[in-house]
Amino acid sequence: MPDDPEEGMLSWDETVFRDEHVFEIDYVPETFKHRESQLQSLKYALRPAVRGARPLNTIVSGPPGTGKTTAVQKLFGELSAETDVRTVRVNCQVDSTRYAVFSRIFQGIFDYEPPSSGISFKKLFGQITDRLVEDEEVLVVALDDVNYLFYENEASDTLYSLLRAHEAHSGARIGVIVISSDLSLDVIDELDTRVQSVFRPEEVYFPVYDENDIVDILRERARRGFHDGVVGAPELDRVAELTAEKGDLRVGIDLLRRAGLNAEMRASRTVSVDDVNEAYDKSKYVHLSRSLRGLSESEQALVRVIAEHNGEQAGTVYDAFHEETDLGYTRYSEIINKLDQLGVIEATYADVGGRGRSRSLTLAYDPEAVLTRL
């Protein structure tokens, strides 16, 4: 027990964090552990690009929070630093149409955004391929969270344009990495036959990290992000245990950050197990928060209506949704399917008293947790 009761307390200008950015979702760690075989497979697919040829197209799949995006970002960083290969990562949760994807590619190549209106897709596409041929560059495009393109029925057109670029413009060399966290989505089966005929990808799978891997990764992250002695072994083990329950490393990384903030709230120099347990009430919803952030206003409106009519029949929910948004049943049905595929809601069929089968709509999360994150 220290003589000075203030010895274990932070002063106003002190922090437990050495580098808080270490806990951000877009942070790419210097050391990327427990994914050596996946990195080797991706390097194998990308190697032809370094020689000036088209790389092998690749599907990268696995549950959320298993290192897929980080692996691609790490290799893209190396390619940009050490070679002339041009790389562009597109977040399809944000850019979920073919035009939006190619606008993002345009920005990656020209370093400025194309006009927001008045330029056709054909012209946009032509400017991209013209520049690639003129500069004799190979382009590798990563479609991250490609499942969002499927939810909007944009995946086949987008991939077809990318994969057929060399036919539309002789000399254009483009390779595609498709990244999906939706394990229920069979990317190949869901594509049009015209795309299937030209899309013969390598496949790289990222499994869930086991608990030992999680401890190792989080220990390294804590070492870089916190000052010495802030997080002890019992606290780290508790973070790893909770992370393993969710199977999503992002939960653990967010949990470390929030536990650190809780310690600071107490003006403490060290994180306690109670700080971790309290932080988990928010960190366990990392995946939900990310899914809700990517929804449009009308999609969020439907989530809000379902939260208010949780477990009720689809017809009742539609009436309330239509009254709020004035949107028709076709769009309503499309959004229901998207929310179901995202795992935000559960749509289950049931017999309704001699009137046939109807869907009941239920949130997959606590309604209050959903509403506070909208």
**Which residues fall in the annotated binding site?**
66-70, 209, 221
Q: Label residues 264-286 b or e (16+ Cβ within 10 Å = b).
A: beeebbbbbeebbeebbeebbbb
**Do residues 41 and 56 make contact, with C-beta atoms less than 8 angstroms apart?**
no
Q: Which residues are annotated as a binding site for ATP?
A: 66-70, 209, 221
Residue 122 identity: K
Structure token digits, residue 100: 């939006």
CA–CA dist 245, 231 (Å, integer):
20
CA–CA dist 190, 158 (Å, integer):
13
Q: Which of 178, 177, 253 is nearest to 209 (CA)?
A: 253
317 three-state secondary structure: helix
Range list of H helices, 169-228: 187-190, 193-196, 211-225
CA–CA dist 59, 75 (Å, integer):
15
Backbone phi, then psi, for 87, in 5-degree steps?
-125, 140
Q: Residues 227-233: contacts with CB within 8 Å, 24+ apart?
A: 227/15, 227/16, 227/17, 227/18, 229/269, 229/270, 230/16, 230/260, 230/263, 230/269, 230/270, 230/271, 231/256, 231/259, 231/260, 231/270, 231/271, 232/270, 232/271
Close Cβ partners of 222 (under 8 Å, ≥ 6 residues apart): 230, 231, 236, 256
Backbone phi, then psi, for 144, in 5-degree steps?
-80, 140
**Do residues 29 and 148 make contact, with C-beta atoms less than 8 angstroms apart?**
no
